[in-house]
Chain A
Amino acid sequence: MSEKIRTIIVEDEELARNLLKSFLKEAENVEIVAECENGFEGVKMINELKPDLVFLDIQMPKITGFELLELLDHKPHIIFATAYDQYALKAFEYNAADYLLKPYSKDRLMEAIDKVAERIQTEGTHSDVAEKVSDYPREEFLDRIVVKDRHKIHIIPVDQVRYIESMDDYVMIYTPDSRYMKQKTMKYLEKALDHRNFVRIHRSYIVKVEEINEIQQYEKESYIVILHDKTKLKVSKTGYKNLKDILNF
């Protein structure tokens, strides 16, 4: 291979970065183009520098490694490096190239890099990481949603979400003060949000149960919900059944 693998390290601990760098010195096909101390920086640098490979920690300040993946415009190959083994399955659902458990050896790291080099040869530098994930892969529910609008990253606590509206390939997330657009499917969010609090009332709407003030019949067999702030949302037949199930009426 003639071209070097352009690599970004996203890792909050200095010592862990140092270790990785000194291991990588001996990998001649790897070139480190940036180091980031947290997920925000990571998103920015990855979108800007479009590397081939990212070393990604999972537990970091601001946003986790997985949340970072959701915010990327450019999709590089990913090698996770973490002390937590419980995320391995999820990492591979995100199509990660490899998953290194700290502390790892130099040989293990080189193995991971060989895997990436192979992938680059067969698939190109553009990975389909995170794009594969249409289904929500976790067992536990989200407690925050990260959204990027142009240059800013917003972290929305799930308890601030009032309702969600689908808009073609995007969803619009409404909070008391604002609204945010995110590239995700309704199906994904329906699975990812706590079923006890959020209910899919229509092809286009997921609403938080406690936001509902009233359910009104406005035609035969057709209903709308009215939220506390008077917003009116359509309810489909299946949606009405879902409401019935969750509210027990």
Chain B
Amino acid sequence: MDFKHPFISNPKLVIYYILIWIAIITGAVLIKWLAYGFEPGIAVAEALALPFMFAIIGSSIWYVIKFSTLENNSAVRVVLSHLIAATIIVFIWLYFGIVIIKLLHPYAGQWIENNLAGNIFSGYMLYLTYVIFFYAVNYYQGFKEKVRNEGKLKSLVKEAELHALKSQINPHFLFNSLNSISSLTMTNPDKAQEMVINLSALMRYSLKHDQIDKVTFSEELKNNTLYLQIEKVRFGNKLNAVFDIDEKCLNAMIPNMILQPLYENAIKYGVYEATEPIDITTRSKCNDNVLEITITNNYDPNSISKKGEGIGLRNIRDRLQIIYGNPMLMKVEDNKKEFTVTLAIPQK
């Protein structure tokens, strides 16, 4: 729990508090002076002794309400602790008040006789007003804090979800590529070097996407071309990547690394299972509102692949849902010869 006094955490509140008390004290002095014909000195002395003193002492009531919050204590306990606190505060208040009166007031004894009982009552009333005021402040602070925490939590959850959904480069892709490189170092060192460079560029891109959300379609495409080039080294003629891209679309924005799992799937279910060449075709079209990307691969209908939406596709769907708030942006078609995924990426 935060015991910090609202006057400290919120200086604006102090200004209002002071202004209100100045208004009350000024009002009281003026009324006594002008309406009841008190001497101004006496009016000021009385104002200093009582309202001004309460303005100072009263602010400490905050700690009382913090120690006897409504949520954590029984009603009896709250009432009892306030009664005790009120009595102590009223006593201290009147004690200092009387000291000031005695110092400044010409008819101190008479004043005390006339006003003591009435002021005890108004002391309790003032205490009650403060309690209500501070409970309200406390409640409002708690409410604001809750809203803030909820917002924070929501963005944390969203971040965590996005993090989990992010496609990571499959480690086996890495191991197989390294094995290819190991082989090429003996037979074709230039090619091995090229592959190391491509692999590094791809890894760098996939790591970068921790930091940024969206990239241009051309950048995403460039890096997936790297991915396909690396896999082409492994699979040779079995993998045939075809691109049919409208150049107008290249500046459209797209969540990064969202295409890679689609190519990975095309390789896993198409190229990997086939003995004949497999085409992986990427097409795009776009207008001001949407970028549509279609990735198609043929596959060997005799190979038995798992049915339904795999984890890779589901993650893309969920990721689009979180980023754009629409789960219908991905379409999957399977006509038993070709597998097609279409993404519709909204543009601002």
Selected from B179, B272, B306, the residue in CB contact (under 8 A) with A143 is: B306
Best-buried of A13, A22, A101, A144 by chain B (most CB within 10 Å):
A13
Determine the chain B residues whose CB is within 8 A of the CB of A83 once the complex forms.
172, 175-176, 179
Binary interface profile of B, 37-51, with partner A (CB < 8 Å = 1, else 0)?
000000000000000
A104: chain B residues at CB < 8 Å are 179
Chain A residues whose C-beta falls within 8 Å of the C-beta of B292 in the assembled complex:
none
Query: What A residues does B182 contact at CB under 8 A?
Result: 19, 103
Q: Does A133 make an interface contact (CB < 8 A)?
A: no
Question: Secondary structure at chain B's binding surface: helix, strand, loop or mixed?
Answer: helix
Is A157 part of the binding interface, using a Cβ–Cβ cutoff of 8 Å? yes
Q: How far is the CA of A243 from the CA of B235 in the complex (A)?
A: 47
Q: Contacts A15-B180, A102-B176 given; indicate if A61 touches B186 (C-beta within 8 A).
A: no
User: Smallest distance from the beta carbon of A155 to chain B beta carbons, Å?
Assistant: 6
Cα A104 to Cα B186 in complex, Å, equals 14
Indicate whether A22 sits within 8 Å of B187 (C-beta atoms), given known contacts A61-B303, A83-B175, A144-B304: yes
B175 touches A15 (CB 8 A): no
Asked if B102 is at the interface of the complex by the 8 Å CB criterion, the answer is: no
Q: Quick check: A19 and B183 within 8 Å, CB to CB?
A: yes
Q: How far is the CB of A190 from chain B (nearest CB, A)?
A: 22
Q: Which of B235-294 contact A (CB under 8 A)?
A: 235-236, 272-275
CB A110 to nearest CB in B, in angstroms, measures: 15
**For residue A105, which residue of chain B has the nearest CB?**
B182
B236 vs chain A, min Cβ distance (A): 6
The one of B186, B236, B273 that contacts A14, using a Cβ cutoff of 8 Å: B236
Question: For the complex, is A166 an interface residue (Cβ under 8 Å from B)?
Answer: no
Query: Is the CB–CB distance between B172 and A15 below 8 Å?
Result: no
Instruction: Bin the interface of chain B by size.
Output: 20 to 34
Across the interface, A157 reaches (CB within 8 A) one of B184, B273, B304, namely: B304
User: How many A-B contacts are there with CB distance less than 8 Å?
Assistant: 59
CB contacts (< 8 Å) of A144 on chain B: these are 304
CB within 8 A of A13: which of B235, B275, B306?
B235
Q: Closest residue to A102 on the B side, CB-wise?
A: B179
Interface contact A102-B273, CB-CB below 8 Å: no
Contact yes or no, B275 A15, CB < 8 A: no
Interface residues of B in 215-246 (CB under 8 A from A): 233-236
Tell me, in angstroms, the Cα distance from A19 to B184 when the chains sit together.
8
Interface presence of A7 (CB below 8 A): no
Say whether, besides A144-B304, A155-B304, A157-B304, A22 and B178 are in contact (CB < 8 Å).
Answer: no
B301-348 contacts to A, CB under 8 A, are 302-304, 306
Interface string of A209-241 (1 = CB under 8 A from B): 000000000000000000000000000000000
In the complex, whether A62 has a CB less than 8 A from a CB of chain B is: yes
Render A144-155 as a binary contact track against B, CB cut-off 8 A, 1 for contact: 100000000001
Contact A59 B304 (CB under 8 A): no
Q: Is the CB of A38 within 8 A of B275?
A: yes
Is the Cβ of B183 less than 8 Å from the Cβ of A15? yes
| A19-B236 Cα distance, complex, nearest whole Å | 15
Q: Report B143-172 residues with CB < 8 Å from chain A CB.
A: 172
- Which residues of the partner chain A approach B303 to less than 8 Å between Cβ atoms? 61-62
Q: Complex Cα distance A83/B259, Å?
A: 24
Among B172, B235, B274, B302, the residue within 8 A (CB) of A155 is: B302
The residue of chain B having its C-beta at the shortest distance from the C-beta of A38 within the complex is B275
* Contact across chains for A102 and B186 when beta carbons are under 8 A apart: no
Contacts of B184 in A (CB 8 A): 15
User: Nearest CB to that of B185 among chain A residues?
Assistant: A19
Q: A102-B175, A102-B178, A155-B302 given as contacts; is B275 within 8 A of A16 (CB)?
A: no
Question: Which residues of chain A (11-66) have a CB below 8 Å from chain B?
Answer: 13-16, 18-19, 22, 37-38, 59, 61-62
Minimum Cβ distance to chain B for residue A45 (Å): 15
Shortest A113–chain B CB gap in Å is 18
A188 at the interface (CB under 8 A from B): no
B39 to chain A, nearest CB (A): 96
| Option from B179, B233, B275, B304 in Cβ contact (under 8 Å) with A19 | B179
Distance in Å: Cβ of A138 to nearest Cβ of chain B: 16
**CB proximity of A11 to chain B, nearest CB, Å:** 10
A103 and B186 within 8 A (CB)? no
Instruction: Give the distance to chain B from A180, nearest Cβ to Cβ, in Å.
Output: 15
Which residues of B sit under 8 angstroms from A16, Cβ to Cβ?
A: 176, 179-180, 183
Give the residue of A37, A101, A102 whose beta carbon is less than 8 angstroms from that of B275. Answer: A37
- A61-B303, A83-B179, A84-B172 as given contacts; A15 in contact with B272, CB under 8 Å: no
The 6 closest A-B pairs by CB, nearest first: A19-B183, A83-B175, A102-B179, A103-B179, A15-B183, A103-B182
Extra pairs beyond A19-B183, A62-B275 (5, CB < 8 Å): A15-B183, A16-B180, A22-B183, A62-B303, A83-B175
A-B contact pairs, 28 of them (CB 8 A): A13-B176, A13-B180, A15-B179, A15-B180, A15-B183, A15-B234, A16-B176, A16-B183, A18-B186, A19-B183, A22-B183, A22-B186, A22-B187, A37-B275, A61-B272, A61-B273, A61-B274, A61-B303, A62-B303, A102-B175, A102-B176, A102-B179, A103-B179, A103-B181, A103-B182, A143-B306, A155-B304, A157-B304
Q: Which residues of B contact A (CB under 8 A)?
A: 172, 175-176, 178-184, 186-187, 233-236, 272-275, 300, 302-304, 306
